[in-house]
Structure 1
Amino acid sequence: MTVIVIPSAWRTAAGIGDARLTCVAETVGEAIAWLAETHPPLRQRVLTGSDRLASWVNVYVDGDDIRELDGLGTQLPADREIIVLPALAGG
């Protein structure tokens, strides 16, 4: 099973009590699609209108940024952890 870790502010907005959700997915894209379908309030936070990963979202698999891997096509062998975080900006 894949574990998806969601930030507390997003959990509150989506009415999710658990910080760690589990799903079955072969790729990061499948896990993100599952998240958006299972918890519709999160869709606009993680996906754009064309169902692409929003530019303001960072996704990590076991601590590795998916932009440095295969993006949404990154394979998820058993027991991986995905962390979904809003990007931070400022100076």
Structure 2
Amino acid sequence: MATLRIPTPMRGFTGNQAEVAAPGATVGEVLKNLDARHPGIGGRVFDERGAVRRYVNVFLNDEDIRALNGLDTPVKDADRITLIPAMAGG
């Protein structure tokens, strides 16, 4: 199982846990399993087409998945996925 780091604004879905585990062979599978275990978080991560929302950054072991294979990026048990909502401001 991969470990996911959950940002503070999304922790309401995970019982205020900063880290949770979810199984999956790819980043996409892990994120879908995260939503199955913690209903509602998927709506904050995925858009209506099933793509990662543009204001959410997803990192696999400090690498942006957009620079890898996106949601199809393979995941190993010891991997860490970090969700980071983009900051807005001006």
Distance across 2 between alignment mates of 1:50 and 1:85: 20
CA-to-partner distance for each residue in 1:28-49, whole Å, 9 max, x for gaps? 0001111222222212210111
Ranges of 4+ aligned residues in structure 1 off by more than 4 Å: none
Describe the shift of the 1:15–1:80 C-alpha distance in structure 2 as closer, same or farther (beyond 3 A). Answer: closer
Write the letter of the residue equivalent to 1:5.
R
Q: Which runs of 5+ in 2 are unaligned?
A: none
Q: TM-score, normalised by structure 2?
A: 0.89
How does 1:1-91 map onto structure 2 within 5 Å?
Answer: 1-12=1-12, 14=13, 16-91=15-90
* 1:27, distance to aligned residue in structure 2 (A): 0.4
Q: TM-score, normalised by structure 1?
A: 0.88
Distance across 2 between alignment mates of 1:42 and 1:22: 14
Report % sequence identity: 33
RMSD: 1.4
Aligned pair count reads 90
* 1:17, distance to aligned residue in structure 2 (A): 2.6
